[in-house]
Structure 1
Amino acid sequence: MNFNLWLAFVLATAVLAIIPGPIVTLVIANSLSQGTRAGVANVMGTVLGNMVLFLIGGLGMAWVLSALSNWFDVLRLAGAVYLVYLGIKSWRSKGQGLEDQEATKPGKSLFLQGVVVAITNPKTIIFYAAFFPQFMDPTLSAPGQLFVLSVTFLAVAAFLDMTYAFLAGRLRPYLLGARRAAIRNKITGVLLIVTGIALAFTRKT
């Protein structure tokens, strides 16, 4: 693949990935409430979700996404409702100092949250179909370039999302104590609610 095109793609992907969206908001919320490992679990889920979409697109099976569009909408709305529920629950929870809580290990639910948010976001497949070709050399093999671009996108996005998880996790120790924990719960609640609403109102274009 043309190195200059690849480098331009990396920079463009980084700029787009830095802009907070449903995935970033989810990662920050869980990193604040449960620590960096929780945010990383979310990121791993988003990587899997994006891999599935990229694989379908790369195999020329966009019709699969079209055929399952209604199912994706149901899953998206269910995920949105669940995130809003978690947000309200966090907002209403009493402030409990982190030092009084047992360490929460990220479970399958955190991973699945990431999968749902990623796989039900139509912007991903639109990005794949419209954005990738702008950085492909027509004189070279298309499948090979698509593979490189897909892997690059996943790596850059995952790195930046994990950076958000790390930074948010680093803020967590400063929220020790019942009063600060109450503030943390409200921040987490707002972020989860915003994520759910953003996911619910995402539309295919």
Structure 2
Amino acid sequence: MNTALLLTYALTVLLLIATPGPVVALVINTTASAGRRRALLTALGTNAASLVLIAVAASVILTSAVIDPRWLAALSLLGCLFIGYLAIASLPEALSDIPVAAVAPTQRSGLWQGFVVGLSNPKDILFFVAFFPQFIQVTAYINHSLVLLSLVWIAIDLSILGLYIFLTARLVSPRHRRLISLTSGALLLVIATVGLIYNLNILLP
């Protein structure tokens, strides 16, 4: 096993996940507005989406297929629309005096929201398409490499998102959670807007 390559992959994944983006903003927003349980389900949804992207990357590697950049842009565009919808839906709740718990969506919707946002996350799409294949030689066998890289991703992903959930739930006072929810909702809206503009420029040259 190539230990140096594995450590490089782990560090890359750590920086990728820890850097604020749509997934982190969604998890923080969910923690502040609906509590740790639903935020954990959301994190599990984003993790499941990552496994789907890993499977796609593995398929590309094993078949030497070429993915049309416009297809990726279209997927990311749909994700941006969904992220924008979540942001717009969360802002009125953050500004309202009605407790969010009284109108909180179901747990199933938390998994679904996390899955859709994770599946269309531009950072993850770029990573798995452009950078993931570079680490496939971490072991002598591709199948072993895919399993190992997937396990490392799952461990780091859930650890980082779990830390964000813990910090938001335990270290942020209840009176500040509305501000956190409002800020993360606004960040989601900015990410969605920038993503829409970027992907439309690709699809409509």
Specify if TM > 0.5: yes
Aligned residue among 85, 91, 94 for 1:91: 94
> Would the alpha carbon gap of residues 153 and 200 (structure 1) be closer, same or farther in structure 2, given more than 3 Å must change?
farther
- C-alpha offsets along residues 165-189 of structure 1, whole Å, 9 cap, x if unaligned? 12111135x31xxxx2xx4324302
Aligned to 1:27: 27
Alpha-carbon distance in structure 2 between the residues aligned to 1:104 and 1:53: 29
Matched, 1:4 2:28: no
The gaps in structure 1 that reach 5 residues or longer are none
Q: How does 1:132-143 map to 2 (within 5 A)?
A: 132-137=132-137, 140-143=140-143
> Would the alpha carbon gap of residues 65 and 56 (structure 1) be closer, same or farther in structure 2, given more than 3 Å must change?
farther
Q: How does 1:124-163 map to 2 (within 5 A)?
A: 124-137=124-137, 140-163=140-163
The gaps in structure 2 that reach 5 residues or longer are none
Q: Report which stretch shifted further, 43-52 or 15-24.
A: 15-24
Aligned to 1:194: 187
Q: How does 1:65-104 map to 2 (within 5 A)?
A: 68-69=71-72, 72-73=75-76, 75-94=78-97, 96=99
> Would the alpha carbon gap of residues 150 and 193 (structure 1) be closer, same or farther in structure 2, given more than 3 Å must change?
same
Alpha-carbon distance in structure 1 between the residues aligned to 2:70 and 2:135: 28
Cα offset for 1:193?
2.6
> Would the alpha carbon gap of residues 43 and 90 (structure 1) be closer, same or farther in structure 2, given more than 3 Å must change?
same
Cα offset for 1:143?
3.7
- 2:75 partner amino acid: F
Q: Which has the higher helix share?
A: 2
Aligned to 1:118: 118
* RMSD, matched Cα: 3.0
| SS in structure 1 of the partner of residue 137 of structure 2 | coil
Give the paired residue count: 195
8 A contact 2:139–2:145 mirrored in 1: no
Provide the TM-score with structure 1 as the length reference: 0.78
| SS in structure 1 of the partner of residue 97 of structure 2 | coil
Percent identity of equivalent pairs: 28
Question: Which consecutive segments of 4 or more residues in structure 1 shift more than 6 A?
Answer: none
Alpha-carbon distance in structure 2 between the residues aligned to 1:138 and 1:145: 6
8 A contact 1:80–1:197 mirrored in 2: no
Aligned to 1:169: 169
